[in-house]
Amino acid sequence: MSTLELRSVTKVAGGETHIDAVSMTLEAGSLNVLLGPTLAGKTTLMRLMAGLEKPTAGNVIADGRDVTGEPVQKRNVAMVYQQFINYPAMSVYENIASPLRVAGADAATIEREVKKAAELLRLTPYLDRRPLNLSGGQQQRTALARAMVKKAGLVLLDEPLANLDYKLREELRAELPRIFAESGAIFVYATTEPTEALLLGGNTATLDRGRVTQFGRTVDVFRAPVDIVTAQTFSDPPMNTVAAVKQGDRLALNTGVSMPLRAPGLADGPLIVGFRPHHLAPSQTAPDAVPMAARVIVTEITGSESFVHLAAGEERWTMLTHGVHDLDPGTELTVWLEPRHLLLFDPSGRSVASAAHAARAA
Amino acid sequence: MSAHSAGIARFKWLIPATYILFLMLPIYWLLNMSFKTTNEILAGFSWWPSDFTVDSYVIILTDPTWYMGYVNAIIYVTLNTVISVAFALPAAYAFSRYRFLGDNYAFSRYRFLGDKHLFFWLLTNRMAPPAVFALPFLQLYSALGLFDTHIAVALAHCLFNIPLAVWILEGFMSGVPKEIDETAYVDGYSFPKFFVKIFMPLIASGIGVTAFFCFMFSWVEMLLAKTLTSVAAKPIVATMTRTASTSGYELGLLAAAGVLTIIPGAIVIYFVRNYIAKGFALGRV
């Protein structure tokens, strides 16, 4: 498959809109991340791409051909689920061989492909076992191997690493692009974690309640979100926001702090300001950094980093900072923020900052 | 451990042992009687046969009016089990995977409710005693020329067994994640191929348990089986109601027939005992 195009694909079920007029074009050999919180519609969108569900409206075009009504068996797709889905009654070997067997491949081809996939995914010692006798990581690698041998044009990975423990996730995430690199297929990878999207690179589509809010190169989407929802989706911990008013070259946050703002061409008036948790600092980071008063609510220490939850006026912010900061709740604190890190949105949530400004902000 | 509780622990076996003794007593008594002559049975109380005889068994296994009872029963029980499982498999799959009642905009908020009621209604078929259906079945089957055939009894028992089979199978099927179905479709399996090659092996124990319960109901049910047959398809349970003959009461013979009737059930239970435990765990048996 060289391209997969969705044309205002909509899915309504039980009176609820699960997918709302999604249009996007995916190119061969590309890695596309669907990023969004749980229930944003990532899985439904994948099922529509696969043909497991029929869109209520809109069309799915594969290689210029309308495949909207075609059942999944006739489409050239492979899918891996978050739950480790294998056929429990078959051996690992038969699990991997399954798509080839259905396609009627000859025994020699099956043997060769299964051995190759098993070697690549380090499953060779377990080929005779049943999937349920393997560890979670091995089970998921079996599912990945099955997706791989099919040589499908469209490979859908629905949060494939979410149920694995941290170490295995790191390991498999690094392997994934390598495993599928040579196939030239279209990859779609759903995840709830912004970090994972950034680590995988490629393109990212951010989803919010069934809508694709932005689709583009992952770094571009991260640096220049088109609206506040995209920015919120693509930020972990959640992006801090505060209402503000721009007057001339000053920006007055409604926490009472005023700071200089260089945003030529931006009209005066109310704005929503967003900034990422790691841009708040407990000490002055630059000469133009602005001090702000805040009170510690609670501190979470992960080891190399500390999440400090703060109250600034009415607002609740998070500061992500290096090292261990063991601050008692209630401690009054001065935090620093550089104006160049601000993302600016109009009151309806659309981004108003110029791309150059946004690029600097990241 | 104190001396007192050690004393209790020593007699822990006593309660289950007593229970099993009570359970086994009637079976022992039946066995005991089957090896006695009718005269000895009527003569009085004795713990074991003083005049040990296997005559009763010989009569049953050589007289067609007796042993054909077993053959007939096995024929219609097998027919019934096959029909029940064959029809319940697709029905249970539909209940476990699809929503029918009100899967549209107007009724969407009632759809779960609707399905639940449909499912429950299936089970209510089991709530009426078979006697209720004896008359309509007899009249209907006589009119259709099905009276005194094996298929008549097999079909009549379906009324009770199919709902039960759907209920049990649905429990096992819902334990298989829907994603396995989808993975099979993505791999290229057609629905029939998926159902037979991937799905049925996954619920094999469920099918075994279901077949067992269908078998057991059909094997022990007497009223319909007796009403719907006369000679050609008469089952052993009906033959056994023939308590008296020209030579008076034949209690030894009846006891032997009883023992032989227990055996098939015991054999089937032995084979499915582990699966039944799984069915209990699912809350469906």
Please tell me which of the candidates A73, A79, A89 has its beta carbon nearest to residue B183. A79
* Domain final residue, candidates A183, A210, A231: A231
Of A10, A20, A19, A34, residue with least CA distance to A191: A34
Count of CB atoms situated within 10 Å of the CB of B92: 26
**Mean pLDDT (whole number) for B167-175:** 90
**In a shared domain, residues A65 and A175:** yes
> For residues A254 and A190, what is the distance between their CA atoms, to the nearest angstrom?
37
> For residues A37 and A233, what is the distance between their CA atoms, to the nearest angstrom?
7
Which residue in B97, B104, B187 has the most chain A C-beta atoms within 10 A of its own C-beta, making it the best mutation to test that interface? B187
Q: What's the domain count of chain A?
A: 2
CB < 8 Å to B188, chain A: 73, 99, 102-103
Distance from CA of A131 to the nearest CA of B (A): 13
**In a shared domain, residues A284 and A187:** no
Q: Does A78 touch chain B (CB under 8 A)?
A: yes
Q: Would you state the pLDDT for residue A360? A: 52
pLDDT top residue among A237 and A127 = A127
Q: Would you state the pLDDT for residue A59? A: 93
> For residues A345 and A342, what is the distance between their CA atoms, to the nearest angstrom?
10
The per-residue DSSP string of B173-204 comes to HHTS-HHHHHHHHHHT--HHHHIIIIIHHHTH
**In a shared domain, residues A250 and A206:** no
Q: Would you state the pLDDT for residue B84? A: 96
**In a shared domain, residues A221 and A251:** no
CATH number at residue B100: 1.10.3720.10
Chain centroid to CA B215:
4
CB contact under 8 A, B180 and A99: no
Closest residue of chain B to A76, computed from CA coordinates: B186
> For residues A288 and A325, what is the distance between their CA atoms, to the nearest angstrom?
24
Which residue in A11, A102, A159 has the most chain B C-beta atoms within 10 A of its own C-beta, making it the best mutation to test that interface? A102
Categorize the per-residue pLDDT at A247 as very low, low, confident or very high, splitting at 50, 70 and 90.
confident
Q: Would you state the pLDDT for residue A328? A: 87
Q: CA angle at residue A117 from A113 to A121, to 5 degrees? A: 170
**In a shared domain, residues A169 and A270:** no
Distance from CA of A34 to the nearest CA of B (A): 20
User: Which residue, chain included where needed, has tokens 């991260």?
Assistant: A222
Q: Would you state the pLDDT for residue B205? A: 86
Q: What's the domain count of chain B?
A: 1
Tell me if B76 is assigned to some domain: yes
**In a shared domain, residues A244 and A350:** yes
Categorize the per-residue pLDDT at B108 as very low, low, confident or very high, splitting at 50, 70 and 90.
very low
pTM, rounded to two decimals: 0.80
Q: Would you state the pLDDT for residue A210? A: 92
For A146-181, the pLDDT digits (tens) are: 998 998 899 999 999 988 888 888 888 888 877 777
**In a shared domain, residues A86 and A184:** yes
Q: Which residue type is seen at A18?
A: H
CB contact under 8 A, A77 and B186: yes
Q: CA angle at residue B28 from B23 to B29, to 5 degrees? A: 105
User: Which of A277-286, A351-360, B93-102 has the highest mean predicted lDDT (pLDDT)?
Assistant: A277-286
Q: Would you state the pLDDT for residue B283? A: 66
Note down the domain range covering A325: 237-361
Count of CB atoms situated within 10 Å of the CB of B1: 8
CB < 8 Å to A15, chain B: 105, 108
Categorize the per-residue pLDDT at B284 as very low, low, confident or very high, splitting at 50, 70 and 90.
low
CATH number at residue A22: 3.40.50.300
> For residues B167 and B224, what is the distance between their CA atoms, to the nearest angstrom?
23
**In a shared domain, residues A255 and A356:** yes
Distance from CA of A149 to the nearest CA of B (A): 10
For A176-218, the pLDDT digits (tens) are: 877 777 778 899 999 999 999 998 889 999 999 999 999 999 9
CB contact under 8 A, A52 and B186: yes
Q: Would you state the pLDDT for residue B248? A: 66
Note down the domain range covering B105: 58-281
Tell me if B167 is assigned to some domain: yes
CB < 8 Å to A83, chain B: 177, 179
CB < 8 Å to B182, chain A: 52, 72, 79
Query: Which residues, listed in sequence order, are joined to residue A336 by a DSSP beta bridge?
Result: A281, A291
* Domain final residue, candidates A190, A211, A231: A231
> For residues A90 and A126, what is the distance between their CA atoms, to the nearest angstrom?
12
**In a shared domain, residues A103 and A217:** yes
pLDDT top residue among B104 and B63 = B63
Within 8 A by CB and 6+ apart from B123, the residues are B163, B164, B167
Q: Would you state the pLDDT for residue B110? A: 44
Complex confidence, ipTM? 0.82
> For residues A74 and B14, what is the distance between their CA atoms, to the nearest angstrom?
65
Q: Which of A211-215, B184-188, B239-243 has the lowest mean pLDDT?
A: B239-243
Closest residue of chain A to B200, computed from CA coordinates: A89
**In a shared domain, residues A225 and A334:** no
For B202-227, the pLDDT digits (tens) are: 998 899 889 999 998 999 888 888 88
Closest residue of chain B to A97, computed from CA coordinates: B187
**Cα–Cα separations (whole angstroms), residue A213 to A36, A57, A359, B128:** 10, 19, 19, 59
User: Which of A280-284, A290-294, B85-89, B243-247 has the highest mean predicted lDDT (pLDDT)?
Assistant: B85-89
Tell me if B29 is assigned to some domain: no
Tell me if B85 is assigned to some domain: yes
Structure tokens at A3: 């391209």
Of B265, B214, B277, residue with least CA distance to B85: B214
Tell me if B6 is assigned to some domain: no
**In a shared domain, residues A195 and A248:** no
Q: Is the pLDDT of residue B20 over 80?
A: yes
**In a shared domain, residues A184 and A283:** no
Classify each residue of A162-172 as buried b or exposed e, where b means 16 or more C-beta atoms within 10 Å of its C-beta. Answer: bbbeeebbeeb
For A15-71, the pLDDT digits (tens) are: 888 999 999 999 988 899 999 998 899 999 999 999 999 999 999 999 889 999 899
User: For chain B, how big is the Rg over CA atoms in Å?
Assistant: 24
> For residues B186 and A79, what is the distance between their CA atoms, to the nearest angstrom?
7
Tell me if B122 is assigned to some domain: yes
* Domain final residue, candidates A231, A262, A287: A231
**Mean pLDDT (whole number) for B42-52:** 85
Closest residue of chain B to A143, computed from CA coordinates: B183
> For residues A284 and A76, what is the distance between their CA atoms, to the nearest angstrom?
55
Categorize the per-residue pLDDT at A336 as very low, low, confident or very high, splitting at 50, 70 and 90.
very high
Q: Would you state the pLDDT for residue B280? A: 73
Q: Is the pLDDT of residue A108 over 80?
A: yes
Chain centroid to CA A59:
24
